């Protein structure tokens, strides 16, 4: 005879494990977009390029305003301010996504 409680618990465990994987994957993707966006700005990539524009637009959405390159935690002025702002704020944002993503993944995982 099949133990229904054990079967239900196993299914719930699988669902939670899959949800934890999705949470971690989303956090890594957000961190990757921020890091690539900062790299594009640092390397002065051609902003007319559709791929560069897409990366920068997505990074602007993902930065949560706290890590914005225009209005973020760090606000540099002077020469290369845009590059410094992008590297500092988006770099910090990428690290924050990885830390929070890992913590959430550990909470959700059975």
Question: Can you give the residue range of the structural domain that contains 93?
Answer: 28-108
Position 2 in a domain: no
Position 14 in a domain: no
The pTM assigned to this predicted structure is 0.86
Average pLDDT, the chain: 91
Position 50 in a domain: yes
* Best CA proximity match to 72, nearest among 38, 106, 110, 24: 38
Position 12 in a domain: no
Split into its structural domains, the chain has a count of 1
Position 76 in a domain: yes
Position 18 in a domain: no
Position 6 in a domain: no
Reported as a single tens digit per residue, the pLDDT across 80-103 is 889 999 999 999 999 999 999 999
């Amino acid at each position: 005879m099949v133990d229904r409680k054990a079967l239900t618990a196993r299914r719930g465990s699988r669902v939670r494990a899959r949800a934890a994987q999705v949470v971690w994957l989303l956090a890594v993707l957000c961190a990757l977009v921020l890091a690539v966006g900062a790299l594009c700005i640092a390397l002065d990539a051609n902003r007319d390029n559709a791929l560069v524009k897409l990366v920068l637009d997505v990074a602007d959405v993902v930065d949560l305003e706290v890590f914005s390159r225009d209005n973020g935690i760090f606000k540099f002025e002077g020469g290369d301010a845009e590059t410094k702002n992008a590297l500092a704020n988006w770099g910090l944002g990428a690290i924050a996504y990885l830390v929070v993503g890992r913590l959430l993944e550990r909470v959700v995982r059975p």
